[in-house]
């Protein structure tokens, strides 16, 4: 696996990024080159999705800039990509075994995929050396980044999703009350379907919206993680025929 120096692991803490490492002999050679020699600069590549002008993106870019200023011994190559573009590019470079040293990624399916491909380095030793930090995460916060008992990353924020808008005129037209329970929501959906009214719609120009709002919030919670992971691997025609969705 790609050799990452102690300084690189420090960068993980400073920027709340993931430590990435490539698998195979090619990664070993690349790691020796990027790690630098004694007395030389350490070269690290960082990929992130903090490209917007929101408060989090601005703050994270400042952390990277501050790290560069405070650590001239590190040659930090930073590249920002929109979320969907970052996900696509990570999977592309993973297939070619050309992963960046540090990068933003996502829990559960992507983490397991990269771990199974021998593309990630566990960070347990580093976390255990910072018990106050590690123990300050809310319960189960690290579960999505844990595979076979080893932790491969830490979350930097939570993103709750909610449905908050509904068309009162349509609800009144078909005698439907705003649902307050899961059963009431299913009954309302059934009524709208029978009357050829689309029950739920959302803007999904960026693919993460449906993944976050529909699949994570509803699918994973209601059907359970085992079903969710099976569905991610199955064809939708098979899911429909099995009537599990």
Q: Whose CA is closest to 35, among 71, 2, 77, 79?
A: 2
Condensed to tens digits (0 to 9), the pLDDT of residues 126-150 reads 999 999 999 999 888 899 899 999 9
Tokens of 47: 């990929």
Q: What average pLDDT does the chain have?
A: 77
* DSSP annotation of 20: B
Condensed to tens digits (0 to 9), the pLDDT of residues 31-55 reads 434 455 446 889 999 999 999 998 8
* Residue 175, phi then psi, degrees to nearest 5: 65, 35
Alpha helices in 16-116 (DSSP H): 24-35, 55-70, 83-95, 109-116
- pLDDT exceeds cutoff 70 at 232: no
pTM beyond 0.85: no
Tokens of 242: 């099995």
* DSSP annotation of 100: -
**Residue-level pLDDT at 139:** 86
Condensed to tens digits (0 to 9), the pLDDT of residues 97-129 reads 899 999 998 888 888 889 999 999 999 999 999
3-state secondary structure 107-169: CCHHHHHHHHCCCECCCHHHHHCCHHHHCCCCCCCCHHHEECCEECCCCCCCCCCCCCCCCHH
**Residue-level pLDDT at 43:** 93
**Residue-level pLDDT at 172:** 96
- pLDDT exceeds cutoff 70 at 6: no
Instruction: Give the other-Cβ count within 10 Å of 174's Cβ.
Output: 12
Tokens of 195: 């009357």
Residues 6+ apart with CB under 8 A from 8: 19, 35, 42, 44, 101, 102
* Residue 237, phi then psi, degrees to nearest 5: -65, -35
Query: Pick the residue with more confidence: 103 or 21?
Result: 103
């Amino acid at each position: 696996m790609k050799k990452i120096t102690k300084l690189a692991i420090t960068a993980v803490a400073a920027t709340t990024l993931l430590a990435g490492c490539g698998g195979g002999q090619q990664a070993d050679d690349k790691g020796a080159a990027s790690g630098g020699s004694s007395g030389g600069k350490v070269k690290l590549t960082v990929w992130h999705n903090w490209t917007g002008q929101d408060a989090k993106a601005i703050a994270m870019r400042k952390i990277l800039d501050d790290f560069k200023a405070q650590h001239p011994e590190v040659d930090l190559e930073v590249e920002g990509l929109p979320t969907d573009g970052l996900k696509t590019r990570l999977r592309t470079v993973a297939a070619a075994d050309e992963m960046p040293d540090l990068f933003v990624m996502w829990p559960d399916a992507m983490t397991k995929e990269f771990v199974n491909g021998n593309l990630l380095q566990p960070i347990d030793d580093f976390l255990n050396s910072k018990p106050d930090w590690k123990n300050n995460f809310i319960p189960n916060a690290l579960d999505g980044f844990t595979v076979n008992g080893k932790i491969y990353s830490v979350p930097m924020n939570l993103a709750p999703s909610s449905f908050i808008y509904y068309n009162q005129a349509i609800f009144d037209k078909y005698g439907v009350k705003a649902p307050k329970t899961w059963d009431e929501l299913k009954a309302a959906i059934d009524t709208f379907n029978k009357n050829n009214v689309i029950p739920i719609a959302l803007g999904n120009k960026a693919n993460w919206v449906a993944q976050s709002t529909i699949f994570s919030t509803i699918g994973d919670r209601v059907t359970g993680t085992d079903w969710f992971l099976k569905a991610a691997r199955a064809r939708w025609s098979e899911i429909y025929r099995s009537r599990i969705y």
